[in-house]
C-alpha cells in the first residue's frame, strides 16, 4: 500500500515533471542542512584529530631522521676514535717491538762481551797454570837430571860429588851448555879403543 502511494505520487504530474534533473526544494534544504551538520562535525572533530595525527607522524619522522643523523654522527665519531686508538696501539706496538729489539741487541752484545772476557780470563788462567807447571817441571827435571848426572859422574870419576854447591854449579853449567847447543855427543868407547 505504501508502495502504491509512492508510485501514484511519482506518477502525478507536477512542476518536477517538467525538469527531471532539478531536485525538489525540500530535498535541497534537507541536503544543505545535512551537509552543514556533516561539515561542522568533520571540521570540529575529525579534521583536528587527523591534523594532530599528521603532526605526530611528521614529528616522529623528523625525530627519527634527527636520531638517525645523530646516530650516524655518533657512529662516525666512534669510528674515528676507534681508528685513532688502533693507530695509537699500532704505533705503541712498533715502539715496544723496536725497544725490545734494541734491548735484545744490547743484551746480546753485553753477553758476547762478557763471554769473550770470561774466555780470555780462562785462557789467561790456563796459560799461567801451564807456565807454572812447566816451570815446576823444569825445576823438578833439573833436580832429577842433576842428581842423576852427579851420581853418574861420581861413579865415572870415582869420587863423591855430593857437595851441593859444587853439584849445583856443575848441573847449571851443563844445562846451560845443553840449552845453548854447545854440548856435542862424544864417543867414549871408540877413543879408548883407538889408543
Q: What is the reported pLDDT for 17?
A: 56
The verdict on residue 11 lying in a domain is no
pTM above threshold 0.75: no
The verdict on residue 20 lying in a domain is no
* Mean pLDDT, the chain cut into blocks of 10 residues (195 residues total): 44 57 89 95 92 92 88 92 93 93 92 92 91 86 75 68 66 76 62 47
Query: 45 is written with which cell numbers?
Result: 572533530
The total number of structural domains in the chain stands at 1
Rounded to 10 degrees, the C-alpha dihedral 147/153/155/159 comes to: -100
CA 52/CA 45 separation, integer angstroms: 11
Q: What is the reported pLDDT for 50?
A: 92
The verdict on residue 61 lying in a domain is yes
The verdict on residue 23 lying in a domain is no
Q: What is the reported pLDDT for 81?
A: 92
The verdict on residue 6 lying in a domain is no
Q: What is the reported pLDDT for 8?
A: 47
Q: What is the reported pLDDT for 1?
A: 43
Domain span holding position 86: 38-182
Give the DSSP per-residue string, 106-139: HHHHHHHHHHHHHHHHHHHHHHHHHHHHHHHHHH
Q: What is the reported pLDDT for 144?
A: 78
Q: What is the reported pLDDT for 15?
A: 52
The verdict on residue 26 lying in a domain is no
Amino acid at each position: 500500500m505504501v508502495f502504491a502511494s509512492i508510485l501514484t505520487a511519482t506518477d502525478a504530474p507536477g512542476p518536477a515533471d517538467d525538469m527531471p534533473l532539478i531536485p525538489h526544494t525540500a530535498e535541497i534544504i534537507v541536503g544543505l542542512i545535512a551537509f552543514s551538520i556533516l561539515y561542522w562535525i568533520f571540521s570540529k572533530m575529525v579534521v583536528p584529530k587527523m591534523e594532530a595525527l599528521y603532526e605526530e607522524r611528521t614529528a616522529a619522522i623528523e625525530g627519527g631522521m634527527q636520531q638517525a643523523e645523530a646516530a650516524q654522527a655518533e657512529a662516525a665519531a666512534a669510528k674515528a676514535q676507534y681508528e685513532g686508538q688502533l693507530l695509537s696501539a699500532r704505533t705503541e706496538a712498533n715502539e715496544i717491538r723496536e725497544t725490545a729489539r734494541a734491548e735484545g741487541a744490547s743484551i746480546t752484545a753485553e753477553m758476547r762481551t762478557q763471554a769473550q772476557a770470561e774466555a780470555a780470563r780462562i785462557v789467561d788462567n790456563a796459560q799461567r797454570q801451564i807456565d807454572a807447571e812447566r816451570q815446576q817441571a823444569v825445576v823438578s827435571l833439573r833436580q832429577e837430571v842433576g842428581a842423576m848426572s852427579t851420581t853418574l859422574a861420581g861413579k865415572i870419576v870415582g869420587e863423591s860429588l855430593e857437595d851441593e854447591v859444587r853439584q849445583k854449579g856443575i848441573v847449571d853449567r851443563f844445562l846451560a851448555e845443553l840449552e845453548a847447543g854447545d854440548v856435542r855427543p862424544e864417543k867414549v868407547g871408540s877413543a879408548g879403543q883407538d889408543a
